[in-house]
Amino acid sequence: MTGGVTAKPDPFIHPITRLSICGLLAAGADWVEFAALRDAAGISDSVLSKQSVVLEDAGYVQVRKGAVGRRPRTWFRLTAEGRQALEGHLAWLTQLEEAVSASTRDVTQVTASSVNGRTAPRTVPSPD
């Protein structure tokens, strides 16, 4: 299932939660506040805190902490390095998605022809 997949996955963005965080930060806003990011990603406070630290240590995310009155506010921004890594990772994901749909198409065609010709398929063609 690697046919046509030339881009490489990024190990830091590979887990789906970190992909969500980076993908949302790259959506177009300069800075996104903790609660907005948490709600949009549909994750808990602790998961966002933990994963944002990993991304910050990798240099993909910039974190700014402040306070409004006594309430702490945390803002996140994707760095240039993070944006570049995300673009590469999304290219890999897109190629993977295309490869998966191509192989699904092949399997469907083989199954349909075997049913019509009443012969069992011997092999499933790989997408390469």
Which range, of 9-17, 55-63, 108-116, 118-126, touches other proteins by CB under 8 A?
Answer: 9-17
Q: Considering only residues 107-126, where is the footprint of other proteins by CB under 8 A?
A: none
Distance separating alpha carbons of residues 83 and 25, to the nearest angstrom: 9
Q: Rule CB under 8 A: is residue 66 a binding residue for other proteins?
A: no
Query: Of 66 and 117, which CB lies nearer to other proteins in the complex structure?
Result: 66
Q: Rule CB under 8 A: is residue 2 a binding residue for other proteins?
A: no
Q: Which of 128, 11, 12 is nearest to 78 (CA)?
A: 12
Distance separating alpha carbons of residues 122 and 112, to the nearest angstrom: 13
Distance separating alpha carbons of residues 110 and 128, to the nearest angstrom: 16
Q: Rule CB under 8 A: is residue 75 a binding residue for other proteins?
A: yes
Q: Rule CB under 8 A: is residue 102 a binding residue for other proteins?
A: no
3-state secondary structure of 21: helix
On whether the CB atoms of residues 102 and 22 are closer than 8 A, the answer is no
Which residues contribute to the site for other proteins (CB under 8 A)?
9, 14-17, 19-20, 22-24, 26-37, 39-42, 68, 75, 83, 86-87, 90, 93-94, 96-97, 100
